Amino acid sequence: MFDWLRERRRRRLVEDHPIPDDRWATILDRNPLLDRLADTELDHLRHMATVFARERFFEPGGEMVIDDLVRETIATLACLPVLHLGLDWLDALRTVIVYPGEFTPEIEEMDEAGVVHVRRETRSGEAWHGGPMVLSWEDVAASGPLDGYNPVVHEIAHVLDGRNGHVNGFPPLPQGIDSARWTRDFEAAWDHLDRLERTGVPDEDLPLDPYALEAPEEFFAVATECFFERPDHLQAVFPEVYRQLQAFYRGPVALHA
């Protein structure tokens, strides 16, 4: 599709199907991380969320009923990381599956002998390159207290990470970000967190959720959650990672206000 035609269609969506004022007020009230945004950023986010909610397929999992508030809340949080990158960064994400609560997918893993093992693991969200984003609405709705936990932001980080074809903690970097410095800063933060965990520091006293140590892509996603949920904390514990993410996400301008 021609870019101008897509932009024209998106403008029509914003004009004809805007998120109503009452639902937008509810979304803002339930997600205090949005309080850090400037008014112009909030307006832009509202427009992006309107488009996302209309362009993506939202499918219920289990007994979930997807109403407009569910759809628009997820759309708003999904668009937050790309507020200054642009909605095109989420082009690969076409479907969002929403369960009422945690879900338990089957996971296939191959061992060193080439034998495939199937296990089941309870999750609050998942996303993979070229696939849908799957979420637990219970966890999305509970992610308001600014405690660093936000499953939508976490999974969107994986979507962005996979834009270069691999989900590995190294997303395609915008011009001006040095890839070697990015790697060095994230590896240093990983090593520090790993050392603390190995010395027996309780999980609640670690600078980041220890789930970040599962894999480089999880470190990037957990750090992204912290960047949007607790930017002051991330800047204090891992200032280099904070600066890299601020450069990557290009703001928001009021994030550290």
Residue type, 234: L
Structure tokens given for 118: 């199937």
SS3 112: coil
Phi, psi at residue 21, to the nearest 5°? -60, -40
Tokens 């307006």 belong to which residue? 43
Distance CA 129, CA 166 (A): 7
Residues in the chain: 257
Distance CA 238, CA 220 (A): 12
Per DSSP, helices labelled H in 80-178 are 137-141, 151-161
Q: Give the pTM.
A: 0.89
Task: Name 145's bridge partners.
Answer: none
Structure tokens given for 126: 């998942």
Q: Per-residue pLDDT tens for 170-228?
A: 999 988 899 999 999 999 999 999 999 999 999 999 999 999 999 999 999 999 999 99
Phi, psi at residue 99, to the nearest 5°? -100, 155
Q: Does domain 3-249 have CATH number 3.40.390.10?
A: yes
Nearest to 155 by CA among 170, 174, 136: 136
Q: Per-residue pLDDT tens for 93-147?
A: 999 999 998 876 655 565 566 655 455 567 777 887 778 999 999 999 998 889 9
Q: Per-residue pLDDT tens for 50-108?
A: 999 999 999 999 899 999 999 999 999 999 999 999 999 999 999 999 999 887 665 55
Distance CA 226, CA 39 (A): 22
Which letter does DSSP use for residue 19 in this model?
P
Q: Which uninterrupted H or E stretch holds 164?
A: none
Nearest to 156 by CA among 135, 172, 186, 137: 135
Distance CA 129, CA 39 (A): 33
Give the per-residue pLDDT at 5. Answer: 73
SS3 86: coil
Instruction: Specify whether the CB–CB gap between 96 and 57 falls below 8 A.
Output: yes
**Cis? peptide before 18, omega within 30° of 0:** no
For the chain, the C-alpha Rg in angstroms (whole number) is: 18
Question: Domain residues of the chain, as ranges?
Answer: 3-249
Q: Which uninterrupted H or E stretch holds 109?
A: strand 106-110
Q: Is 254 exposed, middle or buried (0-12, 13-18, 19+ CB in 10 A)?
A: middle
